[in-house]
Amino acid sequence: MIDSYLRKTYQTLFIDSWIKKSFFKNISPNLVTVIGCLLGVCSAIFFFYDYMLLATLLLILSGFCDTLDGSIARSFHKESDAGSALDIVLDRIVEFSIVFSLYLKNPLERSLVTIWIMAGILFCMVTFLVVAVFTKNRSSKSFHYSPGFVERTEAFGFFILMNVLPKLYFFIAWAFVILMFFTAYFRLYQFIKQSDQPSVL
């Protein structure tokens, strides 16, 4: 939700000013995508070892790379289906790394909620891709982007909170799960409603 409402402001303040530099003409968007993934995985490792400030910074930088790669591709006409696919896959690797590091801190007590978190991520991603496949793209992205209550920024926020507030871990984790499933349901409901088909939801 934050991504949808603040994207234009964020793009103007933090991305466009960088993109204008000629340096980025020679940078591969896919390289930025890979760097973002590596930063996210490193963040998960540092979260596990309780280097909270460093881990948080790395996760934020990972998110920044996740927005920078697409902007570079669009600005210098380097868009590709392979780049979009790589972005989607590596984003999931980052998410899995963070969730797995949270699980490893207390496997016995966190196993159930971890399964539900992964199920929520899967459900959100499936509905996101299904809607993208069947909806005409009218955005600047390479495919239709359907907004939701929990998007990349909110997910990273929950990941950070679950790490820095361990006493509230289960409360935050279950809230995250509920919001992810609600996001997935609402996205599918909106798609069916707009497709002029009889609603089954």
> pLDDT of 93-112, one tens digit each?
999 999 999 999 999 999 99
pLDDT for the residue numbered 131: 86
| pTM of the full structure | 0.86
pLDDT for the residue numbered 14: 66
Give domain limits for the chain: 2-194
48-64 pLDDT, tens digit per residue, is: 999 999 999 999 999 99
Tell me which fold the domain 2-194 belongs to: Four Helix Bundle (Hemerythrin (Met), subunit A) (1.20.120)
Residues of the chain whose pLDDT is less than 70? 1-6, 13-14, 21-22, 136-147, 196-201
For the residues of the chain, what is the DSSP string, one character each? -HHHHHHHHHIIIIIHHHHTSGGGGGS-HHHHHHHHHHHHHHHHHHHHTT-HHHHHHHHHHHHHHHHHHHHHHHHTT---HHHHHHHHHHHHHHHHHHHHHHHHHSHHHHHHHHHHHHHHHHHHHHHHHHHHHHS---SSSSS-----SS-HHHHHHHHHHHHH-GGGHHHHHHHHHHHHHHHHHHHHHHHHHHTTSPP--
